[in-house]
């Protein structure tokens, strides 16, 4: 195939983000067939997997008196507290059973450090700790990225913004994403992506 500089980044299509999961994104499962189809047309496929220790600092259960979706101040800035989700080795952390994983060249895990969350596939939420994905893409000569997955307004948007900031040509396939939409987070994320030059299709 000629477009060897193009990669598909599939963000967090895991059971906990699908209906019935611990942090279910409405219609999260409906994007799976379209993502599987897209994998056939893009030569490099990368999956991300949210992968938290059971005492992760982004879990409301680690903050006495706090509830899920409250905001707290972490040393690296404001952080939403989430229900326990995507715990390493749990059924909720597994990819949706219909997601094709065989076409993936790389599966990258994130959020595995207890003290820091990582929405983006490139940098943890301190905006400085790298996941290593940038190096992988650059050494493979990848210049264009298409993103799809969950959730539009968190991990997809943060990944798209970081990718654009790193100089990649970024397209988000919006019909193959679904949002959490917490207090206007979808509008905010959409505007930020547009402003950063991310193509939304």
Residues that bind Zn ion (CB under 5 A): 50, 111
Residue 59 or 168: which CB sits closer to Zn ion? Answer: 59
For 28, the token pair is 């999260």
Sheet containing 106-110: order of strands: 106-110, 44-50, 6-11, 144-150, 169-178, 199-200
179 burial via Cβ count (<10 Å: 0-12, 13-18, 19+) = buried
d(CA 183, CA 27): 19
Concerning whether 117 is annotated as a catalytic residue, the answer is no
Q: How far apart are the first and last CA of the chain?
A: 23
Which of 150, 163, 189, 193 binds ligand VGL (CB under 6 A)? It is 150
Q: How many helices (H) and strands (E) does the chain have?
A: 4, 8
The whole-angstrom separation of Cα 166 and Cα 155 is: 16
* Least distance (Å) between residue 34 CB and ligand VGL: 18
Q: In this complex, which beta carbon is closest to ligand VGL, that of residue 39 or of residue 157?
A: 157
State the minimum distance, in angstroms, from the CB of residue 82 to Zn ion.
6
Residue 2 Cβ vs ligand VGL, minimum distance, rounded to whole Å: 32
Closest-CA residue to 84 (of 25, 21, 29) = 21
Minimum separation from the CB atom of position 107 to ligand VGL (A)? 15
12 makes contact with ligand VGL (CB under 6 A): yes
Total residues interacting with ligand VGL, rule: CB under 6 A: 9
**Of 139 and 184, which has the nearer Cβ to ligand VGL?**
184
Q: Among this protein's residues, is 188 annotated catalytic?
A: no
Q: Which does 28 bind (CB under 5 to 8 A by kind): ligand VGL, Zn ion, none?
A: none
Of 33-41, 126-134, 136-144, 146-154, the window that binds ligand VGL (rule: CB under 6 A) is: 146-154
Q: Which position has the token pair 């279910």? A: 24
The enclosing H or E element of 169 equals strand 169-178
Q: Which is nearer to Zn ion, 66 or 200 (CB)?
A: 66
Residue 187 falls in the annotated catalytic set: no
Which residues are at the interface with ligand VGL (CB under 6 A)? 12, 17, 50, 82, 119, 150-151, 154-155
> Catalytic residue numbers?
12, 110, 155
């Amino acid at each position: 195939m000629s477009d060897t500089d193009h990669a598909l980044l599939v963000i967090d299509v895991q059971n906990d983000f699908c209906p019935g999961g611990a942090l279910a994104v409405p219609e999260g499962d409906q994007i799976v067939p379209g993502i599987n189809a897209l994998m056939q047309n893009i030569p490099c496929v990368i999956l991300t997997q949210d992968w938290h220790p059971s005492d992760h600092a982004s879990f409301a259960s680690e903050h006495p008196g706090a509830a899920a979706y409250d905001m707290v101040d972490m040393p690296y800035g404001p952080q939403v507290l989430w229900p326990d989700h995507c715990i390493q080795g749990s059924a909720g952390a597994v990819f949706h059973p219909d997601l094709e994983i065989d076409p993936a060249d790389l599966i990258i895990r994130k959020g595995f450090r207890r003290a820091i969350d990582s929405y983006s596939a490139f940098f943890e939420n301190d905006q400085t700790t790298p996941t290593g994905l940038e190096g992988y893409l650059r050494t493979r000569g990848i210049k264009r990225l298409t993103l799809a997955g969950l959730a539009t307004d968190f991990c997809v948007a943060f990944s798209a913004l970081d990718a654009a900031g790193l100089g990649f040509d970024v397209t988000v396939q919006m019909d193959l994403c679904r949002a959490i939409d917490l207090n206007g987070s979808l509008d905010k994320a959409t505007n930020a992506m547009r402003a950063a030059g991310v193509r939304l299709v």
